[in-house]
Amino acid sequence: MYKAKALIIQNFDLSKQNEMNTTSFLLLRLAIGASMFGHGLVRLPKLNGFSNWMVATFEKSMLPKAMITPFSYLLPIAEFTIGLLLLSGLFTKPALIAGGLVMTILILGSCLIENWEILPSQLIHAAFFAILLQFAPNNTYSLDNLFFNK
């Protein structure tokens, strides 16, 4: 009876809920970081063209051009910066939160123009940010850990 009770308690040990293998965390962080970094990297050299494309894409949406234009210039910079921070593991938690917020804005924008095909990719990115944020204490292979012991 005691062994059965110990086994049940072990299976429901809530202290282990925030544990993830540190190598798994690193691989997930690098994957989402590479995606964000790559999105920003390819858009920065052609920032005006990207902005024009985004403004044209949202032309028939309810959002005013005055809102789309600044966002279209900020998005590649945000993607690049978030990606760089995640790849290096520097300021990981703020970068994960920022990434989740960027994805939330992109999801809303996709809904407003009824671009349903892109939603799964954006939702997957948002899930990666949320999962990594949940398991951020396992971010041992990072500059955060080296500089701040976090």
Model pLDDT for residues 45-100, shown as the tens digit of each residue: 999 999 999 999 999 999 999 999 999 999 999 999 999 999 999 999 999 999 99
Instruction: Answer yes or no: are the C-beta atoms of 31 and 128 closer than 8 Å.
Output: yes
pTM passes above 0.85: yes
Lowest average pLDDT, out of 1-5, 9-13, 42-46, goes to 9-13
pLDDT at residue 150, as a whole number: 52
Instruction: Answer yes or no: are the C-beta atoms of 122 and 107 closer than 8 Å.
Output: yes
pLDDT at residue 125, as a whole number: 98
pLDDT at residue 19, as a whole number: 86
pLDDT at residue 149, as a whole number: 83
Instruction: Answer yes or no: are the C-beta atoms of 97 and 81 closer than 8 Å.
Output: no
Closest listed residue to residue 29, CA positions, set 145, 147, 112: 145
